[in-house]
């Protein structure tokens, strides 16, 4: 009989508990403190915004009814071309998982989700009335497993007002969960603002800088080739998780170190990203809109009518209105 291969891992070192291995991955000290907001769609906008201000991350339950969530799932299926049963093909690499596609510039069925009334009220409370949506994508049978930040050239630039060292401005990202089972969002608490991270990591006894987590993607690549998961396990035990049911949204500051879960079945969600209108954000937004000139004009006129008043700035920057 062929000898079974053994891959060393920190999982085997701690006590494994009474029956199962509930203690085998070690303690996450960030799990000892509150690190994300949880709200219901019926909560006041002020309370939801306050939770975002405190944590950089808030889950809002029941933004979409089950019927609307199912409709979003069907839109994501059609847009990605991936049916739930295609997950098996994605797992075996016969099909690629879906990611991206700029859905709002390709199909107006996504516009009401990007402009959802409750989401608009929250975004305006966080960014001000003169804001816009500028980057959307659909994920299907796809998981960004490695810890990372979005817009890293911006948020890791010490001279930028969006810098994690001392953020003066922020971008807001909304993940609209749907599908069969929703999804989970992994994050390193308070890593969107390194001043907060320093305070909270000292509080829980974590003694590393945020840069330590940026190794995660390379470590996962090495784990697949070296078959050694010690380093991956050591980083992953510090990840906290926010779990969303279909119809929930998770609103985050994309400067936070974050990742997606291990995929064990089909998963779909829509992402929409918002910023206050300024020179930096307009440079990020106007180029994307130019790629889809006809639909882009209609989209930003629609979004302006829905209360995202900064949308008009994109149209002016591209010469579409005076």
pLDDT, residue 3, reads: 61
Half-sphere exposure (CA, 13 Å, Cβ side) for 317?
A: 21
- Hey, which residues does 241 pair with through a beta bridge? 186
- Hey, which residues does 151 pair with through a beta bridge? none
Contacts of 175 (CB under 8 A, 6+ apart): 183, 185, 244, 249, 250, 251, 252, 269, 270, 271
Residues 262, 75: Cα–Cα separation, whole Å: 23
Give the strand pairing for 183-187 and 258-260: antiparallel
pLDDT per residue, tens digit, the chain (322 aa), is 556 565 556 566 666 566 666 666 778 999 999 999 999 999 999 999 999 999 999 999 999 999 999 999 999 999 999 999 999 988 888 888 899 999 999 999 999 999 999 999 999 999 999 999 999 999 999 999 999 999 999 999 999 999 999 999 999 999 999 999 999 999 999 999 999 999 999 999 999 999 999 999 999 988 888 888 888 889 999 999 999 999 999 999 999 999 999 899 999 999 999 999 999 999 989 887 788 888 999 999 999 999 999 999 999 987 765 4
Give the strand pairing for 37-40 and 57-61: parallel
Give the strand pairing for 268-276 and 171-177: antiparallel
Q: Alpha helices of the chain — where are they, by DSSP H? A: 45-55, 66-80, 87-91, 111-114, 117-127, 152-155, 194-204, 216-226, 230-236, 279-291, 293-305, 311-317
Contacts of 247 (CB under 8 A, 6+ apart): 61, 62, 63, 64, 65, 66, 68, 69, 177, 178, 182
- How many other CB atoms sit within 10 Å of the CB of residue 214? 17
pLDDT, residue 233, reads: 87
Sign of CA dihedral 211, 217, 218, 219: positive
CA angle 277, 278, 284 (to 5 degrees): 85
For residues 303 and 123, is the Cβ–Cβ distance under 8 A? no
Residues 253, 190: Cα–Cα separation, whole Å: 10
pLDDT, residue 313, reads: 95
What Cα–Cα distance (Å) separates residue 66 from each residue in 45, 62, 121, 231, 272? 22, 8, 21, 40, 20
pLDDT, residue 224, reads: 81
Q: How far is CA 229 from the centre of its chain?
A: 25
For residues 245 and 184, is the Cβ–Cβ distance under 8 A? no
Look up residue 110 and give its DSSP letter.
G
Q: What tokens does 317 get?
A: 């920057």
CA angle 63, 66, 69 (to 5 degrees): 70
> What pTM value is reported for the model?
0.92
Give the CA diameter of the chain. 77
3-class secondary-structure state, position 254: coil
Residues 169, 179: Cα–Cα separation, whole Å: 33
């Amino acid at each position: 009989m062929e000898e079974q291969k053994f891959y060393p891992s920190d999982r085997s070192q701690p006590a494994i508990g009474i029956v199962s291995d509930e203690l085998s991955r070690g303690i996450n000290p960030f799990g000892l403190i509150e690190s994300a907001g949880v709200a219901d769609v019926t909560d006041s906008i002020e309370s939801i915004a306050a939770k975002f201000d405190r944590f950089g991350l808030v889950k809002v339950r029941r933004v979409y009814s089950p019927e609307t969530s199912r409709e979003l799932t069907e839109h994501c299926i059609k847009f990605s071309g991936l049916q739930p049963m295609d997950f098996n093909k994605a797992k075996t690499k016969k099909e690629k998982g879906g990611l991206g596609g700029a859905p709002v510039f390709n199909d107006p069925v996504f516009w009401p989700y990007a402009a959802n009334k409750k989401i608009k009220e929250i975004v305006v409370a966080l960014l001000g009335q003169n804001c816009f949506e500028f980057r959307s994508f659909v994920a299907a049978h796809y998981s960004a497993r490695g810890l990372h930040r979005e817009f890293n050239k911006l948020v890791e630039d010490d001279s930028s007002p969006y810098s994690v060292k001392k953020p003066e401005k922020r971008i807001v990202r909304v993940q609209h969960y749907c599908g069969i089972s929703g999804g989970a969002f992994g994050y390193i608490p308070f890593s969107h603002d390194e001043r907060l991270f320093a305070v909270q990591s000292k509080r829980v006894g974590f003694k590393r800088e945020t840069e330590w987590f940026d190794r995660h993607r390379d470590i996962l690549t090495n784990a697949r080739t070296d078959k050694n998961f010690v380093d991956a396990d050591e980083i992953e035990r510090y990840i906290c998780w926010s779990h969303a049911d279909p119809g929930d949204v998770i609103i985050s500051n994309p400067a936070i170190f974050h990742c997606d879960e291990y995929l064990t079945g089909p998963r779909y969600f829509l992402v929409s990203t918002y910023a206050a209108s300024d020179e930096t954000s307009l440079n990020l937004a106007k180029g994307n809109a130019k790629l889809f000139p006809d639909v882009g004009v209609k989209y930003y006129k629609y979004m302006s009518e829905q209360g995202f008043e900064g949308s008009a700035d994109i149209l002016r920057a591209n010469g579409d209105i005076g």
